[in-house]
Amino acid sequence: MAEDKWAQWLLTRRDGNSAALRARSDRDLAVVRDGVLDGAGLLPEDVVLDVGCGTGLIGFGALDRLGPQGHVIFSDVSRDLLDECRRTAGGDERCSFVLAAAEDLTGIPDASVDVVTTRSVLIYSARKAAAFVEFFRVLRPGGRVSLFEPINRFARQRRPDDLFGLGASSVDDLLAKVRDVYRSVTAEGERPMIDFDERDLVEWAVAAGFEAVELDYRAQVDVPGEPIVDWEALKQVAPNPLVPTYGEAIATALTGAERKRLDAHMTARAALGTPTRRTVAIAFLRALRP
């Protein structure tokens, strides 16, 4: 059976199926994983519910920190990704798997888990407040939630036209056409990705009933980023599961001559190892169910 869009993105389209880009992504994701798990304050016998488990970054990281009596419930909206996690688990009896969305954790009983973790999941939900209510419901008294979310609204407001972090360049006219493709085909689908910020996360947690709410927020504006080292690989990357790859958008937006001009410019930048620039914001939140 064909993989769904979530599985396709996590398994190939996120890094263009490039080993070099995957290694770079894995390094960044390890920092996120450790931040979420450190915030969870895991105990050896905890039952952890990893919401939106994806390929298991947080869930399998939790298993490494739990004892033999600990347990991780992998939940996701994607059957394909749950199957991927099952294969990785290899029959580990400390693992179970539930098909569920963050805002509707049907199948997880009330007050049945010690920890809820999630990473870059609420950003795709149109019902983020409902997700916090579900997190609260499934947690036992004294249970903890620990999550990570990128705050895309920040970058969108600060640098709405910055594609690839190039700054001003001789191909700005071409990049503007590529950006227009993304805007025309993804405006509605991407709405949940930019309709909140870090203050909303705190408010939703408090409204759901959580206490001891703590949020760590980091914003970066125009800081040096990794250079583009392989333009052909980058063209196979989709910035998120809901949109075309850069190459697909370029093919839609540009003529053959324009594509050649863009390829020449980007290949030259890759050869020089010119740093890009990053404007991003991220948030880690942790809270306690009383």
pLDDT at residue 175 tops 80: yes
Q: How many domains does the chain have?
A: 1
At residue 75 the predicted structure's pLDDT band, cuts being 50, 70 and 90, is very high
Residues in the chain: 290
At residue 187 the predicted structure's pLDDT band, cuts being 50, 70 and 90, is low
8 A C-beta contact, residue 33 and residue 58: yes
Partner residues linked to 282 by β-bridges: 150, 218
Tell me what pLDDT residue 1 has.
47
Residue 84 to residue 250: CA distance in whole angstroms = 31
pLDDT at residue 144 tops 90: yes
Q: List the domain range (segments joined by +) for residue 245.
A: 5-288
Record the pTM.
0.94
Tell me what pLDDT residue 93 has.
96
Q: 16 in the Ramachandran plot: left (φ > 0), alpha (ψ -120 to 50) or beta?
A: left
What's 83's domain CATH number? 3.40.50.150
Each residue of 212-238: pLDDT tens digit? 999 999 999 999 988 998 999 999 999
